[in-house]
Amino acid sequence: MDYEVVIGLEIHVELDTESKMFCGCSTKFFSEEPNIFTCPVCLGMPGSLPVPNEKAIEYTVKIGLALNSKIASFTKFDRKNYFYPDMPKDYQISQYDLPICEGGSMDVEVNGFTRKISITRVHLEEDTGKLIHIGESGRIGGADYSLVDFNRAGVPLVEIVTEPDIRTPDEAKAFAQKLKNIIEHLGVSDCDMEKGSFRCDANISLRPKGAKEHGTKSEVKNMNSFRAIQKALIYEIERQRELLETGERVVQETRHWDAANNITMSLRSKEEAHDYRYFPEPDLVSMELSREWIEDLKKTLPELPDARKKRFMEIYKLSVYDVEFLTSSKAMGDYFEECTKSYSDAKKISNLMMGELSMHLNAANLKIEESAVTPKHLVQLLKLIDDGQISGKMAKDVFKEVFETGKLPKIIVEEKGLFQISDEGEIVRIVDMVLEENQKAVEEYKSGKGRTLGFLVGQVMKLTKGSANPQLVNKILKKKLS
């Protein structure tokens, strides 16, 4: 049977505000000691009262505007009750029936096609604390005991929910990537997937092609890279397909992506499904968002990825392929534009970024913002090539060295005594020597064996230890032999 895949995403984004959602505690605690950034409010002490963070509301509206959502005139917070020790209050302040943003959509480019993915809602809540399970497995199952860290409890968290419009793992990955890109451009979160400030849960089900009803879904969590999202969904499609084909049923449950073993594992089943008993948060008043305020916010929105892409195509006259790559993240686009400030050939910049730079970043598993090769380094290298000081081949070696040491290309060229002989007289002298010593090859070439030229070029390069400008060597050899 042919199945159709149905996917909907729930993405949590920690906002990059100075303070937490309902108290004055700092949010800048990553890798600090546990339970330092806490106060009676985010520890849920009796009698403490929450005060909403205006900046967080502003950031949520900005995300909604960027996703073409409808921004609520009237909105409120609700209590989501649950019993789990990662929240000291035993409830999380969230939004239930009146979220800040509803509806909207995002266009996603996948394999040359554009797909419109509808947004269900964008709401604001507070993040939970973190549990650390002590024991051999490091997981809750079989742990000897668990420790709790409330530093993260109360950090502003935006949840973006999509309609079940996504049809392939590629689309899910592309959606998550573009959303991250948009949020980075808005400057409202650092969107660091490894640190957990951008977390994507995927709901997935299969149904017979043409069916109207949705199949039973599973929800997959714990994917901390885009590749993991894609891999987990591919795995889940196969798992569900096998169940359906053998006449079994898919159980509605939450599953955990196990990146080490490339599988999803059942975390909790429907039997344990939560009843959150939402009710309006009595310690907070509801809010009216004025239309003027929203209009003003609209005016402050920065250039977003689609607009940037269009501008790059127009200004730099690059191909769609290049531009897609250069605008795939904010850091990538910023890097490129920084290079263009001191170097005018955009195509050469783009080639080097897509080639050597990407290759080294991937191999070292680094992000472009962590690269020791900064725009300054990259431009200096391009200029050294343009000036004929080093060959394209030498540039590769220099690039590797810059990447590893962070030294400027000029310094490396000097230290290694790298230089390219581009002086015609010098090359003519060496070519003459080579021709003199290789009479046989010269005869062969003249009798029509064109490929002997390569051998002769090789001899010149050997004599100069690779430093002769290959184009010049070629030109001069051909002239001499004709």
| Residues near Zn ion (CB under 5 A) | 23, 25, 39, 41-42
Options 164, 196, 280, 466; binder of ligand ADP; rule CB under 6 A: 164
Sign of CA dihedral 363, 364, 365, 368: negative
Q: In this complex, which beta carbon is closest to ligand ADP, that of residue 158 or of residue 204?
A: 204
Q: Does 169 participate in binding ligand ADP (rule CB under 6 A)?
A: no
- 35 or 177: whose CB is closer to Zn ion? 35
- 6 near ligand ADP, rule: CB under 6 A: yes
Among 53, 128, 203, 230, binds ligand ADP (CB under 6 A): 203
Residue 412 CA to residue 372 CA, distance in Å, equals 14
Q: Which does 456 bind (CB under 5 to 8 A by kind): Zn ion, ligand ADP, none?
A: none
Q: State the minimum distance, in angstroms, from the CB of residue 48 to Zn ion.
A: 9
At closest approach, how far in Å is the CB of 164 from ligand ADP? Answer: 4
In this structure, the strands spanning 218-223 and 253-258 are parallel
Stretch that binds ligand ADP, among 13-21, 75-83, 158-166, 406-414 (CB under 6 A): 158-166
Closest CB 8 distance from ligand ADP, rounded Å: 2
Considering only CA atoms, give the Rg of the chain. 29
Joined together, the tokens standing for residue 195 give 């640190």
* Angle (deg, nearest 10), helices 375-386 and 392-405: 160
**Binding residue (CB under 6 A) for ligand ADP from 153, 204, 349, 457:** 204
Per residue in 388-418, is it b (16+ CB within 10 Å) or e — as a string? ebbbeebbeebbebbbeeebebeebbeeeeb
129-141: buried (b, 16+ CB within 10 Å) or exposed (e) per residue?
Answer: beeeeeeeeeeee
Q: How far is the CB of 80 from Zn ion (least distance, A)?
A: 19
- The residue range among 22-30, 202-210, 360-368, 429-437 that interacts with ligand ADP, by the rule CB under 6 A, is 202-210
Contact residue for ligand ADP among 95, 197, 205, 222 (CB under 6 A): 205
Burial of 166 (0-12, 13-18, 19+ CB in 10 A): buried
For ligand ADP, the binding residue among 163, 190, 283, 334 (CB under 6 A) is 163
Question: Is the CB of 47 or the CB of 141 nearer to Zn ion?
Answer: 47
> How many binding residues for ligand ADP (CB under 6 A)?
15
Is residue 192 near ligand ADP by the rule CB under 6 A? no
Tokens of 342: 């001191």
The residue within the footprint of ligand ADP, chosen from 130, 133, 167, 214 (CB under 6 A), is 214
| Choice from 4, 10, 283, 324 touching ligand ADP (CB under 6 A) | 10
Structure tokens at 66: 């960027």
Name residues whose C-beta falls within 8 Å of residue 152's C-beta, 6 or more positions apart in sequence: 29, 127, 128, 129, 130
Interacting partner of 217 out of ligand ADP, Zn ion, none (Cβ under 5 to 8 A depending on kind): ligand ADP
Spatial distance between the Cα atoms of 192 and 331, rounded to a whole number of angstroms:
12
23 touches, from ligand ADP, Zn ion, none (C-beta below 5 to 8 Å by class): Zn ion
- Distance between start and end Cα atoms, the chain: 69
At 119, phi and psi to the nearest 5?
-100, 135
Nearer to ligand ADP, 172 or 430 (CB): 172
> Tokens 């000036």 label which residue?
387
Member of 38, 60, 151, 162 binding ligand ADP (CB under 6 A): 162
Is the Cα torsion angle 244, 247, 252, 253 positive or negative in sign? negative
User: What is the closest distance, in whole angstroms, from the C-beta atom of residue 207 to ligand ADP in the complex?
Assistant: 8
Residue ranges in contact with ligand ADP by CB under 6 A: 6-10, 161-164, 203-205, 214-215, 217
